[in-house]
Each structure stands twice: as C-alpha cells, then as structure tokens.
Amino acid sequence: MENKTPLLTPIFELVMCLAQAVDLVSPLVADHHKRTAQVAYGLGLQMKLPEDELRDLVIAASLHDVGGLTRADRLEALDFEYQNPLGHSVMGYLLLSPFGPFKKAADMVRFHHVAWDFGVGAQFDGLPVPRGSHLLQLADRLAILIDPAGDVLEQVDGILQKICSQAGERFVPEQVQALVELAGKEAFWLDTVYMVDLNYLGRRLKWQEIEIKDEEFLGLTNLFRRIIDFRSQFTSTHSAGVAATAESLARLCEFSESDCWIIHLAGLLHDLGKLAVPAEILEKPGRLTREEYDIVRRHTYFTFHILEPLKILDVVRVWGAFHHESMDGHGYPFHLEENEIPLGSRIVSVADIFTALTEDRPYRKGSRGVDALAMLQDASMHHKIDSEVVAILAKNLDRVDGVRCKAQAEAVDEYRHIIELSRQLTHIAS
Ligand SMILES: [Fe+2]
Ligand SMILES: [Fe+2]
Ligand SMILES: [Fe+2]
C-alpha cells in the first residue's frame, strides 16, 4: 500500500507497549518483560556492552517471551529450573526476525534458554550463540526470582545464592561475576521493582530521538499483527483481512490517502488487546463459558489503553478500539452513542464482522462473502452497525471480498511458513 503520511514513531515506546500487552495474559507474569529489560539493561551496562549491543539486548529482553503463545507456555517458563531451548524461544525468534531492525534481538531471543554448560553453550545446533542470549537468560531467571510484593533488598542474598550455584553450568561465569559486582548497588534492585514504568528505560538510553517511519513502521505494525494473530490458527489471518477490508471500504468512502493508511494500521492493531486473552480460550472448540466470554470482551478495552501512551497513534487507536461499539449504544466496552462513534471506527467494525464471519472458528465453518453480507445487512437493520457502510459493501462486494481474500491468502502463507520453520528448527536440533 501507498503511504502519504510521514509517521514518526518512537520505536522504544512501541516496543514497551507490546511488552506490556503480552504480559496481560496472566497476573502471574505482570511486568515480566519490563522487569527483565530493566535487569538486562543493568547487567549490560555493568559489562560495558557497546551501545548498539546494549540496545539490542534491551529490545530482546523486552520481547523475549512473545513466542509463548499460550498461557501455559508463559506460566511454564516461570519455573526457575525451566530449560527448554526449543520451546517458546524458537517461536519468538521466528516472530521477531522478519522485522529487519530486530534481527539481532531476534537472534538473542532464539537462544535465551541455552545453558552455558561450561562453554558448550557458546554454540547451539552448529550456530554461534550471541553473548546477549546468555545475558538475557541470566536477566530472565533473575527477574522471575524477584518477588515485587516483598522487600526486594531482603531477597538479594537468596537470589544471588541461587544464581551463583549454577555459574558455569547454566550461566556464563563472567556474567555471574558482573551480577555479583552490580548486586552491591541497592539502586539496581530497587529499579527492578519501582522503575518498571513504560518509558524509564527509553529515557535512560536516550532513545527518544530514534524514530522510524513509513515502511519500517508498517513492518513493525505487521510484527504486532503476527504476534496478535499467530497465537491461534483460527485467528492467524484475521487482522490482515480486517486491515485490507477496512482500507478498501475507506477508499470507497473517499477517505484521503493518509486516512486510508491510518485505517489500515487500525485494522492491523484493532485486536491488540487479544494478547490478554489466553490462546486456550481462542482455540476452545465448544461454547465459551460466561467467564471466558467476559475475558474475550475485554480485548477492546486493552487495545484502547495499551496504545494510549503513543499520542501519534491516537486516531489509529480510536478507529481500532471502538470496533465492538454499536450504533444503538449497546456495544462494549464504552457503550458509546451513535454520534460518538467516528466513521473510521464504523468501517473497522463492519470490516471486522465481515472478516470474522468468513473465517473458520473452532466451533463453525466460515461463511461465503455473500452470506456474511446478508448477516451484516440484518445487523444494520437492527441498528447495530452503520447502514451506509454496509450499503457500500453490498454495492462493491466482489471487489472488497477479493481484497480481503488476497490479504488473508498472503497471511496464511506467512503463518504456514512460520509454523513449518518452527517445526524444522525444533526438529533438527532435537
Ligand atoms: Fe522470560
Ligand atoms: Fe475484536
Ligand atoms: Fe477482530
């Protein structure tokens, strides 16, 4: 797609938003990525890593468990003794590596559960393991040993003892030594509990001035999309379909080029809050319980708030996050009135329902475009969705549906490719 609007976006703020979002899946992992990033930053500084490597390490630490697609994956890795180098770290690598600027961070993520094993762990499966991977493993394991509810300074001796007992076996001795030296500073420990706010590290690393634009930004947004959608095969192409459908409808509604770009991004990110919904629920074959359904319904609330710190994405956020608001005021989570729902949000809403109806779900097969349209027409008659947008879809059904199909066909290829690579990488190495 063509982009006419230069979007300058602080990359680190985006990374932190994503880091926070993937930790919404369970209160037990709350702040895990931010805490690991904080620890990795302290260790990296202590080891005097060059600036670039430190930056890659902090990005890797901020996103290292994104390949833990289910809640079970995430909780399993909370066990200090967890040592599976072929689990979520491989998927994390595959999700992150297509985005060029994260290539080195992705390599670190890939091997962050490889034990040092007295030097054997300098390589894995014939590939060199970056020292950042070992440092990340140390930061990760240390982060899970910290109990933020207790007095962190009281915990220092116990944590050090546990880490030091595995120096050489699991952790690189020089890195453990760096930790021992750093551990004398109370500020290091206090930062891990009190300074896990979104932008603290960005300010420290003076990253405010690092910005990306246009194609790179789209690349990063697509990285978000893959992390959101690839948690389940049933949603694996959803946001790509919604983005393409919404953009196509926006063009037919004569949106400007820059607004078409914004609505495309809104489509890619509209279900960002689904990261808070465990994949176990997304994949459940039967009817959801009341409680599970309530968890699913929270997703738009989270989409709205996760993106809040990014002022530059305000319109993307509003158009994306209101997609379950309803013209009759009975939508969720804000129960907005008709005049409070912008046209961009109404288009995303129609695109979302249209796309979802055509997709298979664990409990039903997808409908044909023409049948999905009939259901939308029914919803518009009941004043749930914008009737003019539905009328435009009806008039241009083949064209819009064609655009949707193409986008989802591309996304399915991408998904299958990643699943295949993941099989290969975990098979070859085992
Ligand atoms: Fe972790
Ligand atoms: Fe949704
Ligand atoms: Fe959706």
Centre of ligand 3 from the C-alpha of residue 344, in Å: 15
Same CATH topology for 32-195 and 215-421: the answer is yes
Centre of ligand 2 from the C-alpha of residue 323, in Å: 6
Reduced to 3 states, what is the DSSP secondary structure of residue 171?
Answer: strand
Would you list the domain boundaries of the chain?
Answer: 32-195, 215-421
CA angle 270, 378, 297 (to 5 degrees): 35
CA angle 392, 398, 399 (to 5 degrees): 75
Which ligand is the nearest neighbour of the Cα of 23?
1
Spatial distance between the Cα atoms of 379 and 385, rounded to a whole number of angstroms: 6
Centre of ligand 2 from the C-alpha of residue 135, in Å: 37
Centre of ligand 1 from the C-alpha of residue 329, in Å: 41
Buried b (16+ CB within 10 A) or exposed e, 194-217: eebebebbbeebebeeebbeeebb
Centre of ligand 2 from the C-alpha of residue 300, in Å: 6
Task: Encode the chain (430 residues) as per-residue pLDDT tens digits.
Answer: 444 444 456 677 888 888 888 898 888 888 999 999 999 999 999 999 998 899 899 999 999 999 998 888 889 898 998 888 888 999 999 999 999 889 999 999 999 999 999 999 999 989 999 999 999 999 999 999 999 999 999 999 999 999 999 999 999 999 999 999 999 999 999 999 988 765 677 777 766 556 676 778 889 899 999 999 999 998 999 999 999 999 999 999 999 999 999 999 999 999 999 999 988 898 888 889 999 999 999 999 999 999 998 888 899 999 999 999 999 999 999 999 999 999 999 999 999 999 999 998 777 888 898 999 999 999 999 999 999 999 999 999 999 999 999 999 999 999 999 999 999 988 755 5
Topology of the domain comprising 215-421: Hypothetical protein af1432 (1.10.3210)
How far, in whole angstroms, is CA 24 from its chain's centroid?
10
Centre of ligand 1 from the C-alpha of residue 89, in Å: 9
Centre of ligand 3 from the C-alpha of residue 269, in Å: 9
Which residues are close to ligand 1, an ion, with C-beta < 5 A? Answer: 65, 140
Reduced to 3 states, what is the DSSP secondary structure of residue 319?
Answer: helix
Which residues are close to ligand 2, an ion, with C-beta < 5 A? Answer: 271
Which ligand is the nearest neighbour of the Cα of 273?
2
The CATH number of domain 32-195, selected from 3.40.50.2300, 3.20.20.70, 1.10.3210.10, 3.30.930.10: 1.10.3210.10
Centre of ligand 3 from the C-alpha of residue 270, in Å: 6
Which ligand is the nearest neighbour of the Cα of 242?
3
Per-residue pLDDT, 195? 81
Which ligand is the nearest neighbour of the Cα of 300?
2
Provide DSSP, 194-260. Answer: H--STTHHHHHTT-TT-EE-HHHHHHHHHHHHHHHHTTSGGGTTHHHHHHHHHHHHHHHTT--HHHH
Reduced to 3 states, what is the DSSP secondary structure of residue 364?
Answer: strand
Centre of ligand 1 from the C-alpha of residue 79, in Å: 10
> Whole-prediction pTM value?
0.92
Centre of ligand 3 from the C-alpha of residue 49, in Å: 42
Centre of ligand 3 from the C-alpha of residue 345, in Å: 12
CA angle 36, 203, 4 (to 5 degrees): 105
